Amino acid sequence: MERTFVMVKPDGVQRRLAGRIIQRFEDKGLRIVGLKMIRMSHKQAEDLYSIHKGKPFYDTLVKFITSSPVVVMAIEGNQAVSVSRKLLGATFGFNAEPGTIRGDFGGSKGLNLIHGSDSPESAQREIPIFFSEGELAKYEHADIGWVYEEPERK
């Protein structure tokens, strides 16, 4: 099973969409192994967005992401990164397809509701910023045999 990082950003929390967004991942059959609401520290924001350091939008992004609580999640499943990215939709809400999180709830460039790891390597870097290994639950859903075929469960 692959693991990915997903975060409901301040605009998603402030618009009371966190529960509906989390439900999308569960409906798809993904397993939430870590979940918490936090007020992200400046250090966590810098670590998360370190790949954007030096870009014109970096300071604004750090200020925005630390402005209000966020919901951070570690999610597992078959092809978790690519499946989650499809659920998110295009980065800018006005470009996102209906049926995706950003397509259904977003219309802005900067207020795009959600962050998701863009690769398994990014997930491995991002998850430890917010979760210790001991905070990640190890379990299987009772219906896993009805979500994934046997070879996909590994």
Active site amino acids: 115
Cα torsion angle, 9, 89, 153, 4, sign: negative
Alpha-carbon gap, residue 83 to 87, rounded angstroms: 6
* 49 Cβ contact list (under 8 Å, min separation 6): 58, 61, 62, 65
